[in-house]
Structure formats: C-alpha cells, structure tokens
Amino acid sequence: MAEQSQESHQRPGGGDRTRESRGLLANLRIVSLCTLLSRVFGLCRDIAMASLFGAGSVMDAFSLAFRVPNAARKLFGEGAVTAAFLPVLVETLTSSGREKARSVATAVFVGLAEFLLLLTAAALVPLLLALLYLPMSPDLRLLLELTAILAPYTILICLTAQICAVLHVLREFFWPAFLPVLLNLIWIAAVALAAYSSHDAREQIQIVSWCVIVAGVVQLGIAATVQSRCGLPPSPQWRESLPELRRVTLAVLPVIVGVTIAQVNAIIDSMIAWAVSAPEGGSSQGGRIAGLPALVDSGTAAALYFAQRMYQFPMGVFGVALGTVLFPRLSEHIQRGQVSAARDDINFGIRMALAIGLPSSVGLMLLAYPITRLLFEHGQFNAADARLTSHMIAAYGPAVWSTITLLIAQRGFYAAGDRITPMNIGLVAVAANLLLSLTLVVPAGGVGLAIASTGSLTLQAVQTTLRLQRDLGRFDWHRVLVTGLRTVAATAAMSVAVLVALWLFPSGDAFAERCLSVVLPVFAGAAVFMGTARLIGLREPWYLLRRADSDDLAD
C-alpha cells in the first residue's frame, strides 16, 4: 500500500492530492474549533442545569425526554439521512451538475419534512390523550409532558441536519459546526430565564424545554439561508428527483441501525436506570415501575446523561469533526474509483482515533472525580451526585477511542454504498449491550450500565473496522501499530504527569481548589503528551496544529 500511495503522489494529479490533504486538515481544524466551542458552552449549560435541578426526578425526566429528539436526530437527521443522502448528492453533483443536485436536495428535504410531521403527530396524539385521561404518578406525568413539549424539536433538528449535509458537500463546514453553539447559548439563557421566572422546578424545566424549541427554529432558519447563499436554494422542479428520493429512502432504513447504536444503547441504559431506580422520597424496596426492584438510586439516569455528555466531549470535538470532513472526501474518491485514496483516508482516520482517542480516554478516567466536582457539584447537585456521576464518567472513558474508530469505519461503508453490513454488526452490538446491561446492573448498579455500553461499542468498532478491510483491501496495520505503540508511550507519560499534579493539588471544597485540581493536571498532561509525541515521532496529534503534506496522511 505504501508503494501505491507513493505512485499516486508521483502521477500528475499528485499536487491535487496534496491540496486535498491540506484542505482536509484545514476543514478539520475549523470543525474541531467550532465543535470545541460548542462543547464548552454545552458544559456550561450542563453546569447550569445541574445547579438548578440537581440529579433528582426532574432532571431524570428531562434527560430521558430529550433523548427522543436527540435519538431522532441520529435516526433521521445527521446520522442515517446524511449517510444515505450525501453519497447520492455527491454522485448527482459530479455526473449531472448543480441544478440537478439542487432538485435532489429539495426533494429529500420535502420528503423528510412530510415523514417527520406524520411521525410526530402519530406520537403526540396518544401522548396527549394519556396526559388528559389516564391516572399516573407525578414522575411519569412530568416525563410525558416534557416529551410532548420537545417532540417538535425532532422536526426542526432533523431538517437542519439534512441542510448541513448539503453544505458539507459544498465544502461549507463553518456554519454546520457553529449551529450547535447557538443552541447552547439559547439553552443557557433559558436556564437563567427559568430561574428568574419561577421557583417551581417543574415549571422551570418546562420553560427550558420551550426555549429548546425556539433554538431549533433559529438553527433551521440560519441553515436554510446559508444553503441558498451557497447556490443551492429550493428547486421548484424537485418532483423530477423523486427517483433519487426513493433511493435515499430505501437506503435510510439499514443505515438507521448502523449509525445510531450508541444512541439506542444510551436510551436502553437510561430506561433501565429510570425503571429500576427508587422514586425520590419513596420506598427503597421497589423501582419506579411496579414489580421491579430498586437496584439503583434516584438520579442514576441523570448521572448517566451527564457522564455521556462528558465522554462525548472529546469524541465530538475530534471524532465527529474528523468524520464530517472525511465523509465527502471518501464519497468522492469511491465515486471516482480511487479505492487506494479511500483506503488512505480510512488509515488516517484509524491512526487519528488512536492518537486522540486513547489519551482522551485515559484522561477522562483519571480526572473523572475532580472534573465532576468542578463542573457539576453546585446548588442542588450534591456530593453524592458528584461521586455517582464520576463513576459513570470513568466507566464511559474507554468508549472515546472506540466511538471515533466506529464512526470512521461506518463512513467508509456508507461512502461505498454498503449499508447492510454496519446494520448487521449494529444489531449484534445492541443485543450485546442489552444482555450486558441486564447482567451488570444487578452487581454493579448504574456503573454496570455504563460498562455494558462501553463494551458493546468496542465490540462494534473492532468488527466494523475488520469487515471494512475486506471491501477496501488490507489497511496499513504496520503504521497503525507504530502509531498505537507511540500513543501508548506518550499516554503513559501523560498519566504520570496527571497523577503527580493530582497529588500536588488535590481537590478541595473551595472553587479555586477545584479549578486547580482540574486545570493543572489537564495542562500538565497535555504538555507532557504533546512533548513526548514530538520526541518519539508521533505526528498525528500535531496535525491539528500545523499544515501537513499528503505524504503525512497516506503512507
């Protein structure tokens, strides 16, 4: 493979490959920076939510209700529809031109909007009837009320994601990456408004939920405006592209399973935690669902939510950014028959997953407790909540690198038009997670649910990557191994630095002490990791900070 890559750089198009590689890294830096900004504000919003609501029944209900539109976003938005739609749009743009691509984009938008409207209406009608006529516990009523309020956000965020896929094909990466920042800013303002407007926690969480809907309207409006300015406004001839819409529709169904296993696993974990947790202030002998034992404390579902947000921080900043910029490039290479170039892209993605994901995983595990105390232990979020959440974060930590690897491997399949293989592997992962969750929740409680998700994600990532190799040809495992060994060495040095910093600056009760117990270990660990990487020749982490030639990416 190294010889093939060398030949590709020597042919007349070699300069284009170099420009492509530099463009990839430039876009990766843009998306990573915007995503980092979004995650920082996302942490601020989670801190505000934890301070106002704690980790009790109100936050349990919201975290579970918000998973519905969040999962739908993966099912019908940036996950499945993007994976099925983007290769079709790339093919259309390459073979038939911009006007036909405009027609296809509009047809998919209209079809998705109609489907989401019907789906949301079908879900809301029985939900509202149950709220009006059925007796239920206060916890269940709040859960159903928040689910009903947040249901329209499903339509807004999925349509926004479809437009963002169009922008990615047009190589417009800034606005799609910046829209989540707007959501978090509006959300933070909503928490402040709720705290000012009411002293009742249930009224406050409803105010926050309605403001999330407002944020969805803002995101969709901006995305549609940017798409029009990029030269692909809605086409009145969209009905001419109904055959392409049918292709995308048929492709979406298997993709749904493949790209949303992490979301499905998270929902499974949260539902089990909610069902077998003791009602707040109630008997400790029974869970929230009659007949089930109380295996975990009230607030476990919320702790899972906060922990998942934490492990998704580095995964989102680097993994999602990498997948976002690689997917259009992979689709173009495969559309043009450049299998060797596509294999180079996957190789680069796997190496980056190791070089970024492994130290992120270890860092989260080492700093889980001080991070939780700094970010969340305020207001109603007490010391017991912090300790529970930190255990969840540590259990989810190893999932960072496996989730990044899985995302890259799945993009390879979807770019090649194979949607069945990731679906089959995903079904195995769901079954494994359910079995592990039911097995581990009894001896390990909520932590067992997090361990189950981590194990099933790792299994899915390994299986998907190895299966992709059968389609694209053997990956450069020698270079992956070298990157892996160097990453392990740099991570080991980082771990020593983090542990020393934690010993010198243990977490105290004062805010300044909590801050020092996180900031100093993070900076010390990052400095030692990057310095060690430089000394031992681990180049991948430095790609985020400097320009690179195509030789760096494709050997």
What pLDDT shows up at residue 22? 63
Task: Look at residue 110 in the predicted model and tell me its pLDDT.
Answer: 95
Could you read off the pLDDT of 447-505 as tens digits, one per residue? 888 888 889 889 999 999 999 998 888 899 999 999 999 999 999 999 999 999 999 88
Model pLDDT, residue 555: 46
377: helix, coil or strand?
coil
Instruction: Please give the distance of CA 545 from its chain centroid, rounded to a whole number.
Output: 23
- Crossing angle for the helix pair 399-415 and 339-376, nearest 10 degrees? 150
CB half-sphere exposure, 199, CA atoms < 13 A: 0
pLDDT value, residue 220: 96
- Report CA-CA distances (Å) from 20 to 48, 330, 547, 549: 41, 12, 12, 9
H helices present in 54-137, as ranges: 57-76, 80-96, 98-133
- Nearest to residue 37, comparing CAs of 250, 313, 290, 244? 313
Calpha distance 207→240 (Å, rounded): 43
- Euclidean distance between CA atoms 159 and 216, whole angstroms: 10
* Model pLDDT, residue 479: 92
The predicted pLDDT at position 124 comes to 93
Q: What is the DSSP string of 106-128?
A: HHHHHHHHHHHHHHHHHHHHHHH
pLDDT along the chain (555 residues), means of 10: 38 51 76 86 88 84 86 70 84 89 94 93 92 88 94 93 91 90 96 94 95 96 94 91 88 71 73 71 53 67 80 79 86 85 91 93 93 82 83 88 90 86 87 87 82 89 92 90 96 96 83 88 95 93 66 48
Residue 147: its pLDDT value, please?
93
- pLDDT value at residue 554: 47
Please report the pLDDT score of residue 6 as a whole number.
37
- Burial of residue 96 (CB within 10 Å: 0-12, 13-18, 19+) is middle
Q: Is 395 helix (H, G, I), strand (E, B) or coil?
A: helix
Q: What is the pLDDT of residue 196?
A: 93
Q: Could you give the dihedral angle defined by the CA atoms of residues 401, 406, 407 and 413, in that order, rounded to the nearest 10 degrees?
A: 150
Q: How many domains does the chain have?
A: 1
Q: Determine the angle formed by the axes of helices 2-10 and 339-376, rounding to 10 degrees.
A: 110
Which pLDDT does position 39 carry in this prediction? Answer: 81
Copy the structure tokens of residue 79: 């996950």
Q: Which domain holds residue 108?
A: 2-554
What span, in angstroms and rounded, lies between the C-alpha atoms of 248 and 65? 29
**Predicted local distance difference test score (pLDDT) of residue 2:** 36
Write 520-528 long-range contacts (CB < 8 A, 24+). Answer: 521/366, 521/367, 521/370, 521/497, 522/363, 522/367, 522/498, 524/497, 524/498, 524/500, 525/359, 525/363, 525/494, 525/495, 525/497, 525/498, 525/501, 526/494, 527/497, 528/493, 528/494, 528/496, 528/497
Name residue 277's beta-bridge partners. 296
